[in-house]
Structure 1
Amino acid sequence: MPTPYRAIFSVPGARSFTAAGLISRLPVAMMGLGIVTMVSQLTGAYGLAGALAATVALSVAVFGPQVSRLVDRHGQRRVLRPAAAITVSAVGALTLSTVLGWPTWTLFVFAVCSGCVPSVGSMVRARWSALLRDSPARLHAAYSWETIVDEVCFVFGPIIAIGLSTVWFPQAGPLAAATFLAVGVFWLTAQRATEPVPAPRGTHGRGSALRTPGLPLPVLTMVMIGVIFSSVDVITVAFADERGAKSAASLLLAGYALGSCLAGAVFGMVHPVGPVERRWFRGVCAVAVSMIPLQLAGSLPFLAVALFLAGMAVAPTMIAMVGLVDQLVPRSRLTEGMTWSSTGIAVGVSLGASVAGWVVDRVGAERAFAVPAAAGATAAALAFLGHRRLVRRPVAGRDQEGTRNERDHRSEKERDERHLA
């Protein structure tokens, strides 16, 4: 393992909580595609499939920040387990409704409840931030590593979800996603030693972390990035289906994630240069440009290459996004702040999935690639118009207060462990 990554895994407990985070995040890459594949297998209607996936994503956008706000106040263990239980139950009911032939509206009810899934990526990154906040270089490597983990999930998640639903039975993909979530969250929350300590009540403030100066711009831009992600997913499945190779969609999307994974691995070994907001702006522009070759896709091999190259722009952009949020948001609201970036993506995913499904049904998959191209252009325009206004500033008192709380908490834990021994 390269030196920067070896250094971060010398931290006690790091290997265990990042492994649990990987399992917990597989459902992020599986749920939407699993639902799209399940419904399209059962009904052949991509419009309905996309609308259900969009409903789940929009529900995540609504509930995700609220769950993370509770985590900042009460801790990960007390909040994540009940939230995961709600999601797992809703997914089980969603799949059961397709077996029993319940009315279509019940699918949407259970899809809404499925959105209570916690933002596990934010939880894991909050642990890294608490452990490595005094070492910016190692924290950059840790954020890069977690982006690699995200992309590993998007390499294997689509393969598992689409493969199970097409080879075994239609409901297998969503059910597998629910299982991964339950196992991963239970394992993560069992690791108390690395769990960030909730900040004192008086430091949380009122209102949403989204009101933090500078944060709305990157969140809004991430909405367009989310449109790109979900529309590429839906259109790629339809593109492969039109050519009689629907199961190949999982490999195409895995290549998209693999390109991002490789780029993220390299980026994590390079010391970042220049302001983080500038790196973020360049990344958004690169993502937008990467959508242009998709307009020329006429065959599966060409699309595979185009998606792989497009993926190489994703991870560096997301790493810069996390660094930007970490810089803008107070420590007492860090989990919620990080969740808002994923919430922006979730909102975009809901829009992109529904719009892409509608466009595919009317003009076909090949022409539907105009949807992610338009979203990329919009993201670049938003970033260009507003990125100079982003203010890089440390939040007063956040590091001293957070470090003191962490030190006191760990001292108490050590005393308790010695007493039990």
Structure 2
Amino acid sequence: MLNKYKAAYARPGTSAFSAAGFVFRFSIAVYPIALVLIISGRTGEYGFAGVLSGCYVIGGALGNPLAGTLVDRLGQHRVLPPYLLAHLASTIVLAGLIAGHAALWTLPVPAAAMGFTFLNVGALVRARWSFFWPGDAPQRSTGYSIESTLDELIFVLGPLAGTILATQTDPLVTLGFALVMVAIGSVWLTRQRSSEPPVVTRIAGQRRAFALRSKGMLLISLVMVSVGGTFGSVEVVMVAFCGQHGQRSSSGWVVACFALGSGLAGLLYGARHWRSPLLVRFVLAASVFALLPLLTFVPDRVPELALCIALVGLGTAPTLIAAFGLVDAIVPSEALTEGLTWIGTGLSVGYGVGAAVGGGFADVHGARVAFWIPVGCAMSAGVLAWCLFARLDGSLRATSAQPAVPGVPMAAGGQMIDNRPL
């Protein structure tokens, strides 16, 4: 297993852009829980806290497709600096309003602007893996798995850092910490021009490629909306559960247990050579993901919740890794960054809605009843995944010889299926 991961980092510059991406997107896991803890600590309620966190995430959902298209057209080094400046400005405005105890209705717009200007770093880094290891290189598959595992590590460490800073210091320190991480990661990644994918020159008269035109791409995005709804609602409801049991400071490590379970599953999943078709693996992973949240009804105490939520997390990484693999298979190469971004967009839309609805239900009905929200979202993800299977089964039937997820599908004779829209 270690040799497989070591081979992925063999090319000079690989570890540098992967590390820069890790630092850059660390704040993804800090911002949402920081906003929930800051607002709930001041108002004593989780409804508006969930709404504000949702505004931030939905802002990202609206901005990421545009940013992904700009990156495909202009290149990463031209898009990263202006987005960083805009993100700095919007975050400082929000922090100033919170510090000045401004009316709550003034907060959603700058929170949404924060999300709108926060680039989908995972898509940028995965595009670099694709550029470094083109075609059917197994290192490309392993690289995608590495990034998914790093995502989960971020969601282990991020909530812990955010909770400690928000509960043990001035809550605004949390936003400052996240902002510094974004700035360092953005500048570091921008300077790495050698690993940046080149802009694909479009032939005169050729139709411009857009990811959503690819067969199945819309359904994949809808599955991700449901998956994101599960994330957003379960995170806010877990925080509410801890608060309603008098252990608000435990929120961070309970949320981290979800990512810990997912990260473990991602490591094991990415290290194995899979022979079953990619689409089949995606559907099976999504089906497991759909059922595991039922475990949230078992615990009566915070430690029991942490254990159950770690088990729930086991279904997450395999579903996301397979989803990235499907996008890589069906989206044209000149729109790959945009296509990868749509996964993040779907997750963001679902997260925002799920956080708002979950927080409202937790306020009115209590956390135990509110767990029905993530359960419903997860089950809808499973149903939509089966719809995607029916849509793509004929198109991707020949993927059984594909290397470890997520990679480029291979036909039965060992030839790569090209990335034209199916």
Give yes or no for TM over 0.5. Answer: yes
1:396 CA displacement: 6.1
In structure 2, the partner of 1:15 is: 15
1:397 CA displacement: 7.4
**Per-residue displacement from partner, 1:136-189 (whole Å, max 9, x unpaired)?**
422111111000110110000001111101110122222221211111011011
In structure 1, the partner of 2:242 is: 240
Q: Which amino acid aligns with 1:110?
A: P
1:211 CA displacement: 2.0
Alpha-carbon distance between aligned partners in 2 of 1:333 and 1:397, rounded to the nearest angstrom: 10
1:361 aligned to 2:369?
A: no
SS of residue in 2 equivalent to 1:133: coil
Alpha-carbon distance between aligned partners in 2 of 1:335 and 1:189, rounded to the nearest angstrom: 16
User: What does 1:247-286 align with in structure 2 at a 5 Å threshold?
Assistant: 247-286=249-288
1:260 CA displacement: 0.9
Q: Which amino acid aligns with 1:157?
A: G
In structure 2, the partner of 1:415 is: none
1:88 CA displacement: 2.1
**Per-residue displacement from partner, 1:323-354 (whole Å, max 9, x unpaired)?**
00000100000000000011000000011000
TM-score between the two structures when normalised by the length of structure 1: 0.91
1:384 CA displacement: 1.6
TM-score between the two structures when normalised by the length of structure 2: 0.91
In structure 2, the partner of 1:182 is: 183
In structure 2, the partner of 1:416 is: none
SS of residue in 1 equivalent to 2:193: coil
Alpha-carbon distance between aligned partners in 1 of 2:274 and 2:124, rounded to the nearest angstrom: 24
Alpha-carbon distance between aligned partners in 2 of 1:136 and 1:389, rounded to the nearest angstrom: 27
Say if 1:45 and 1:334 are closer, same or farther in 2 by CA, change over 3 A.
same
Alpha-carbon distance between aligned partners in 1 of 2:361 and 2:48, rounded to the nearest angstrom: 12
1:154 aligned to 2:155?
A: yes
1:106 CA displacement: 2.0
1:242 CA displacement: 1.0
In structure 2, the partner of 1:74 is: 74
In structure 1, the partner of 2:412 is: none
In structure 2, the partner of 1:231 is: 233
Q: Which amino acid aligns with 1:306?
A: C
In structure 2, the partner of 1:61 is: 61
- Answer yes or no: is the 8 Å Cα contact 2:202–2:208 preserved in 1: no
User: What does 1:67-146 align with in structure 2 at a 5 Å threshold?
Assistant: 67-115=67-115, 116-146=117-147
1:228 CA displacement: 0.6
In structure 2, the partner of 1:3 is: 3
1:112 CA displacement: 1.8
SS of residue in 1 equivalent to 2:107: helix
Please identify, of 376-385 and 184-193, the stretch whose mean Cα deviation from structure 2 is larger.
376-385
- Structure 1 or 2: more helix by fraction: 1
**Which of 315, 320, 324 lines up with 1:322 in the alignment?**
324
- Answer yes or no: is the 8 Å Cα contact 1:329–1:395 preserved in 2: no
User: What does 1:310-389 align with in structure 2 at a 5 Å threshold?
Assistant: 310-389=312-391
Say if 1:202 and 1:34 are closer, same or farther in 2 by CA, change over 3 A.
farther
Alpha-carbon distance between aligned partners in 1 of 2:132 and 2:95, rounded to the nearest angstrom: 40
Q: What are structure 2's unaligned runs of at least 5 residues?
A: 397-408, 410-416
Alpha-carbon distance between aligned partners in 2 of 1:202 and 1:285, rounded to the nearest angstrom: 42
Alpha-carbon distance between aligned partners in 2 of 1:160 and 1:263, rounded to the nearest angstrom: 23
Q: Percent identity?
A: 36
Alpha-carbon distance between aligned partners in 2 of 1:206 and 1:353, rounded to the nearest angstrom: 36
Q: Which amino acid aligns with 1:334?
A: L
Alpha-carbon distance between aligned partners in 2 of 1:341 and 1:30, rounded to the nearest angstrom: 20
Say if 1:205 and 1:88 are closer, same or farther in 2 by CA, change over 3 A.
farther
Q: Which amino acid aligns with 1:126?
A: A
Alpha-carbon distance between aligned partners in 2 of 1:371 and 1:174, rounded to the nearest angstrom: 28
SS of residue in 2 equivalent to 1:247: helix
**Per-residue displacement from partner, 1:80-100 (whole Å, max 9, x unpaired)?**
121122112211111110111
Please identify, of 332-341 and 82-91, the stretch whose mean Cα deviation from structure 2 is larger.
82-91
In structure 1, the partner of 2:402 is: none
**Per-residue displacement from partner, 1:49-70 (whole Å, max 9, x unpaired)?**
1111111111111100100110
1:312 CA displacement: 1.2
Say if 1:281 and 1:81 are closer, same or farther in 2 by CA, change over 3 A.
same
- Answer yes or no: is the 8 Å Cα contact 1:161–1:172 preserved in 2: no
In structure 1, the partner of 2:201 is: 200
- Answer yes or no: is the 8 Å Cα contact 1:4–1:268 preserved in 2: no
